[in-house]
A and B are shown apart, each in its own frame.
Chain A
Amino acid sequence: GAGVSQSPSNKVTEKGKDVELRCDPISGHTALYWYRQSLGQGLEFLIYFQGNSAPDKSGLPSDRFSAERTGGSVSTLTIQRTQQEDSAVYLCASSGVFGTDTQYFGPGTRLTVL
């Protein structure tokens, strides 16, 4: 498909386990963003990748969160030692070049930490 895809769509895990969330951006998009949306809350910026530049990690809530982007395409968001407050929908978006380009969102991964 031509859109942003994310997997899994739903993930239920136990407190303390590690999880990996995957994002496949639109082919050719150099910018990739991760956001999360907790229940009833707005979108929270997590991390941003632009091409081969060092990512902006300023939005990551703790050092348990990390992300990488391999080959300038697929990105993985990893949450270590998950906590219940990590439960949220994690959204990935990509855009053509930078900043003011329209961001195209994936369907999200709903993470539930028991």
Chain B
Amino acid sequence: KNEVEQSPQNLTAQEGEFITINCSYSVGISALHWLQQHPGGGIVSLFMLSSGKKKHGRLIATINIQEKHSSLHITASHPRDSAVYICAVSSMDSNYQLIWGAGTKLIIKP
């Protein structure tokens, strides 16, 4: 069993839909990261959180430490949101070696 699991693996939605991507982890963590990777490979860090909720524009990330679960939400989705969204955790045993989820490939159709 992977230490970081994301769901769904693939998600196709229509423009305007509310999107939720889930991440569950099995290790003790010091922080959880959400990253976005566009076609062509560029990676952008979206959020780093260790508790609660963060919001940036149309993106919202939440984390429940007790349940070892995080969600990334996109409101009013747009085709430019199409990308791979990756969840990664900094484990308590190794603060710098991020443990990566497999990613969720999101396609937003116009």
Contacts and interface: CB of A to CB of B under 8 A. Distances in A.
Say whether A and B bind each other: yes
A31 B31 CA distance: 16
B98 A42 contact: no
B79 to A, nearest CB: 22
Interface residues of B, number: 22
Given A45-B97, A100-B30, A105 B42 contact: yes
Contacts of A89: 41
A37 interface: yes
A107 B41 contact: yes
A110 B41 CA distance: 9
Contact of B42 (A43, A102, A108): A108
Nearest to A41: B102
Contacts of B95: 98-100
A91 B50 contact: no
A45 B30 CA distance: 18
A31 B97 contact: no
B48 A100 contact: yes
A48 B31 contact: no
B65 interface: no
A13 interface: no
A103 B98 contact: yes
Contacts of A107: 41-42
A105 B50 contact: no
A12 B95 CA distance: 34
A8 interface: no
A94 B35 CA distance: 14
A45 B98 contact: yes
Interface in A64-114: 89, 91, 93, 98-105, 107-108, 110
Given A42-B102, A42-B103, A99 B42 contact: no
**10 nearest interchain CB pairs?**
A99-B95, A105-B43, A100-B31, A102-B48, A42-B100, A99-B96, A43-B100, A102-B45, A100-B30, A48-B96
Interface of B: 30-31, 33, 35, 41-45, 48, 50, 86, 88, 90, 95-98, 100-103
